[in-house]
Structure 1
């Protein structure tokens, strides 16, 4: 069977199922069933988005967006799916990670064990680890975060991820020079009345300069 045809049939089945749900009179559904539906449908939505990300990852790996004239996969998503620049960037970054370095996370999303929000957090943590860290540390760390993701929301999981990253490389010594430079930097944002907020990571020399100012 032609792969395009198979995809069309699969999407038709999904759309038909949504139409059936849409036709249901919710006034006749008891509250307990509605609560169960809310949780189950959230998981299904995450599974569908996980499958969408799997395809985005394949599109990005092939450079398929450029073939049809888009400047990049992110530009293609912005123009066709009408999502914001930040959303398209996050989608491509997450999709690429799930396709390569975070396959345990991809499997958990596909199985409905964790949500897309948790998957995005795990992908960011794992891809942000120093390249010099042993592969078994990465794999074990991802497995631990996936296990925690089944019980933590994305914000809570992000704290766990930061703890893990600091634990495996507390002083950043595992990062090579290029990674250190990429992480070093500071951004400023203005607030009311001329005040401002500074955020970022600094190398020891830059920190010493600021502290001495």
Structure 2
């Protein structure tokens, strides 16, 4: 990887970034730390300020994007040494002519997942893929789906669930991914019920 030139040369479609709520916990925690340290020594107040700046820059750097090679999670304060992680292993692939578009696929899965008892919001069409927000065990799980760009007959499609875990649960190690696991099981049931579907499987 060779800095910005490499990143800018790729056909990157940013899917999402962290929302404003991601900034609340570090600001809250470091503000308290600032007031405590500053009460002992004014110079000590510089430490939480520096940490806050680093935290904000790190949060701002997160990007979930899609390019010709797949879906990637990008982060890094130093733009010339970013961290890029492939999340392709989250995909459930299938080949089928059941869908004519990403929107058609999203509407199909909303109907079928709803029959399984899931509470779903209306699909969001980003053009190159769709997302559907659901609630499983009172946790927010988002289904991402769309047509793979790889030429294939029948067409190759991909779908995967992603649980949105609150910041504090991640920090204190209390993250429970059971809702996401349930979503995977239900998703497989729906996909395997598609008669025309073939080559079904999670990416390795």
Superposition TM-score, scaled by structure 1 size = 0.29
Greater share of helix residues, 1 or 2?
1
Superposition TM-score, scaled by structure 2 size = 0.30
Greater share of strand residues, 1 or 2?
2
